[in-house]
Amino acid sequence: MKKGKKLYEGKAKIIYASPEKNLVIQHFKDDATAFNNQKKATIDGKGILNNRISEYILQNLNQIGIKNHLVKRINMREQLIKFVEIIPIEFIVRNIATGSLTKRLGIEEGTVLNHPLIEYCLKNDKLGDPLISREHILTFEWLNVIELDWIYNECKRINDFLQGMFRAVGIKLVDFKVEFGLTHESGKTQIILADEISPDTCRLWDSITDKKLDKDRFRKDLGDLIPAYTEVAK
Ligand code: 5GP
């Protein structure tokens, strides 16, 4: 498929125009960043693995009725996706305490949460993606109450599905981040799951050893990121 002009470049992906109406091409780069862009590297092959893993997950989510932007994978690094207007909020779902939750609230690392915890962060690099509350989202009208409740519920469904899927292959889904976007088709606006779901956006631990199989290998200089992502892909 012929790529059009570059529409947007993020830290790990590039969006190009496509020849088809309302569709764009999502290109997965090998770039890795952490700590609000302070740590950067290129990891050969990461984009290929994330493209494949995210395709698998979004296809499966689609099959259980979770509408998302994926149309099809085009090649090793690219997917054809629906054009969406990204909602500037990161939805974080946690099953086990780690990362910023343990730092912020002093919760013991590895604590299994009684219920999945959903947190919201404003997507704003300059401000360091600050944690926001449901009230912030409603006050500033980033979403209305119906949209927010719908996304909250969708996050829980995604979590249930992913937890089961990973558990079946000996991996604990510790936490993950998802993003949603608005599509405007035939005069109708709809919210759908967008972006990617991959070891870049999830924390995944081996069920028995708690070995980290995700981007924390880069964040914490643990090495062997590609073998870990390959294990997830398999
Ligand atoms: P934490 O808030 O503990 O740093 O991250 C919680 C979860 O959300 C982790 O799985 C982490 O990978 C994901 N996450 C949070 N913010 C971002 C982000 O800006 N980019 C990516 N790729 N993942 C994020």
Q: Which atom of ligand 1 sits closest to the CA of residue 100?
A: 3
Neighbours of 57 (CB within 10 A): 22
pLDDT digits (tens, 9 = 90+) for 167-209: 999 999 999 999 999 999 889 999 999 999 999 999 999 999 9
From 36, 92, 93, the mutation candidate for ligand 1 (largest count of ligand atoms within 8 A of CB) is: 92
Q: Whose CA is nearest to atom 11 of ligand 1?
A: 201
pLDDT digits (tens, 9 = 90+) for 6-27: 999 999 999 999 999 999 999 9
80: left (phi over 0), alpha (psi -120 to 50) or beta: beta
| Residue 41: per-residue pLDDT | 97
pLDDT digits (tens, 9 = 90+) for 48-98: 999 999 999 999 999 999 999 999 999 999 999 999 999 999 999 999 999
Q: Whose CA is nearest to atom 22 of ligand 1?
A: 201
Look at residue 103 and tell me whether its pLDDT is greater than 90: yes
Q: Mean of the pLDDT values across residues 161-170? A: 98
Kindly report the pTM of this predicted structure. 0.97
| Residue 100: per-residue pLDDT | 98
| Residue 64: per-residue pLDDT | 98
Look at residue 232 and tell me whether its pLDDT is greater than 90: yes
Calculated CA dihedral for residues 55, 57, 58, 64, nearest 10 degrees? 140
Rounded to 5 degrees, φ, ψ at 16 are -115, 155
pLDDT digits (tens, 9 = 90+) for 145-157: 999 999 999 999 9
The finding on whether 213 has its CB within 6 A of some atom of ligand 1 is: no
What is the rounded CA–CA span in Å between residue 93 and residue 161? 13
Q: Mean of the pLDDT values across residues 132-153? A: 98
The finding on whether 129 has its CB within 6 A of some atom of ligand 1 is: yes
- Measured in angstroms, how far is the CA atom of residue 38 from the centroid of ligand 1? 15
Q: Whose CA is nearest to atom 3 of ligand 1?
A: 99
| Residue 209: per-residue pLDDT | 98
